[in-house]
Structure 1
Amino acid sequence: MSHPILAAYDLKKSYGRGPNRFDALKGVTLEIFAGESVAIVGKSGSGKSTLMHLLALLDKPSTGTVELGGSDTATLKGKRLNETRNKTFGFVFQQFFLTPGASVLENVVLPLKIAGIGSRSRRVRGHAALDRLELGDKAKSKANALSGGQKQRAVIARALVNDPRIIFADEPTGNLDSATGAIVEDILFGLNREQGITLIIVTHDEDLAARCDRRVYIRDGLVVTEEARVAA
Structure 2
Amino acid sequence: MTTPAPSIATTAPPVISVRDVHKSYGRGSGRFDALKGVSLDIADGESIAIIGKSGSGKSTLMHLMALLDEPSAGAIALSGSDTATLKGSALNRIRNKTFGFVFQQFFLTPNQSVLENVVLPLKIAGVGAGERKRRGMAALEQLDLADKARNKAVNLSGGQKQRTVIARALVNDPRIIFADEPTGNLDSATGGVVEDILFALNRDHGITLVIVTHDEELAAKCDRRVHIKDGLIEAVAA
Instruction: Report if TM-score (shorter chain) is over 0.5.
Output: yes
Q: Structure 1: which 5+ runs fail to align? A: none
The CA RMSD over aligned residues, in Å, is 0.3
2:190 aligns with one of 180, 196, 216: 180
Q: Deviations over 1:129-156 (max 9, x none)?
A: 0000000000000000100000000000
Task: Say whether 1:24 aligns with 2:27.
Answer: no
Give me the TM-score of the superposition, normalised by structure 1.
0.98
2:93 counterpart SS class: helix
Q: Deviations over 1:167-223 (max 9, x none)?
A: 000000000000000000000000000000000000000000000000000000000
Q: Please list every run of at least 4 consecutive aligned residues from structure 1 whose deviation after the TM superposition is greater than 2 angstroms.
A: none
1:129 aligns with one of 124, 139, 151: 139
Match for 2:216: what amino acid? Answer: E
Task: Say whether 1:72 aligns with 2:82.
Answer: yes
Equivalent residue number for residue 8 of structure 2: none
In 1, the alpha carbon distance for the partners of 2:217 and 2:133 equals 37
Match for 2:226: what amino acid? Answer: V
Equivalent residue number for residue 107 of structure 1: 117
Task: Say whether 1:146 aligns with 2:160.
Answer: no
Larger Rg: 2
Give me the TM-score of the superposition, normalised by structure 2.
0.95
In 1, the alpha carbon distance for the partners of 2:67 and 2:222 equals 22
In 2, the alpha carbon distance for the partners of 1:56 and 1:171 equals 15
Q: Structure 2: which 5+ runs fail to align? A: 1-10
How far off its partner does 1:7 sit? 1.0
Match for 1:171: what amino acid? Answer: E
Equivalent residue number for residue 189 of structure 1: 199
Q: How does 1:150-229 map to 2 (within 5 A)?
A: 150-228=160-238
How far off its partner does 1:2 sit? 1.7
Equivalent residue number for residue 59 of structure 1: 69
